[in-house]
Amino acid sequence: MTTDNKPDTLQKFMFDAAPVRGELVELSSAWQQILARRDYPPAVQNVLGEMLAAAALLSANLKFDGSLVMQIHGDGPVRLLVVECDSQLNLRAMAKIRDGESIHDGTPLKQLVNLHGQGRFVITLDPKEKVPGQQPYQGIVPLDGDSVAVVIENYMLRSEQLDTKLWLAADQHISRGLLLQKLPKEGGVAVQMETSEHLDAWDRAVALGSTLSQKELLSTDIHTLLHRLFWEETIRAFDPGHPHFHCGCNREKVGGMLKMLGREEVEEALVDLELLEINCDFCGQQYAFDKVDCAQLFASESTVDNVQTPSNVKH
Ligand SMILES: [Zn+2]
């Protein structure tokens, strides 16, 4: 592999002569760390890896400090896929497969997660610092498309009114993706006219991207891809970013989760168990809570709720 010693990379670029922006992402180390913790069937690996690349590509556009969470709630053998990327390009991901399901190699997305048409695709934008009472923004749509890329393209067009094209590929070694997006028209008086030249430029960029096969995407590093695809265009490349695996779980958050379950449920579980052991689904870290820990959780409830929100929160 040519990518073994290189850091994972997210490369943003702009077309000089067209209102089109692009990004390429290459995830090797982060993807390996995610896979090292779980033994997913290859078909699930492919979908999760493609979602991971997509989350990194979309999060590069976040206009706030926080996370982008992408979920597929499946009605087939795969129950749940979750990928998360924050503004610092910290990535984590996990999949949950229904008990007793065996998944063949090459099983298509629809059969994995949308067997009965009940699958859902959810994007959550979760700012780190929320104003009091603020809920994270969440968009939920049916799983409209035969690939992760098409599902997201449809979502972006419908929910964000953004023309977006994605090419994604992942195997057990690497996850790569290309994003092209037509820049929205500027508002105000000096409206940029959508000239036929600009429309041509978008169509041309998409046509160039469409020459990319999954095989080529899996086997070619992103700098070579950028040159190979767009060598006839004048491209401005920005300083690359470096995504990495990081799980932000901690004891406090797991405690918060237990509190949400409610005192009654937790006490009931502790009747049969000496210790509640909770494993983080993303990184495998184990957290144990005994009776005393749990009693403390609920005893401290009132004081925690009274904590003032920081005064520097922007409205
Ligand atoms: Zn964790």
Identify the pLDDT of residue 54: 97
Q: For the whole model, what pTM was predicted?
A: 0.87
Distance 33 CA to ligand 1 centre (A): 12
How many Å from the N-terminal Cα to the C-terminal Cα in the chain?
A: 48
Give the distance (Å) from ligand 1 centre to CA of residue 42.
23
- Ligand 1: distance of its center to the CA of 47 in Å? 21
- The CA distance from 29 to 194, in Å, is 41
Return the pLDDT at 160.
85
Q: Measured between alpha carbons, how far is 284 from 34 in angstroms, rounded to an integer?
A: 10
Whether the CB-CB separation of 37 and 284 falls below 8 Å is answered with: yes
What pLDDT, on a 0 to 100 scale, did the predictor assign at position 276? 92
Task: Please state the separation of Cα 71 from the chain's center in Å.
Answer: 8
* Distance from Cα 281 to the centre of ligand 1, integer Å: 7
* Ranges in the chain, pLDDT < 70: 1-5, 186-199, 300-315
Predicted confidence at residue 197, as pLDDT, reads: 64
Count of CB atoms within 10 A of residue 293's CB?
16
**pLDDT at res. 300:** 67
Q: Give 287 Cα–ligand 1 centroid separation in angstroms.
A: 10
C-alpha of residue 58 to centroid of ligand 1, in Å: 22
pLDDT at 194: 57
Output the pLDDT for position 301. Answer: 60
Distance CA 310, CA 315 (A): 12
**How far does residue 206's CA lie from ligand 1's centre (Å)?**
38
CA geometry: angle at 255 spanning 250 and 259, to 5°? 150
249 alpha carbon – ligand 1 mean position (Å)? 4
Residue in the structure block whose two tokens are 């065996």: 102
Using only the alpha carbons of the chain, give its radius of gyration.
22
Question: Do 143 and 151 touch, CB atoms closer than 8 A?
Answer: yes
247: CA distance to ligand 1 center in Å?
5
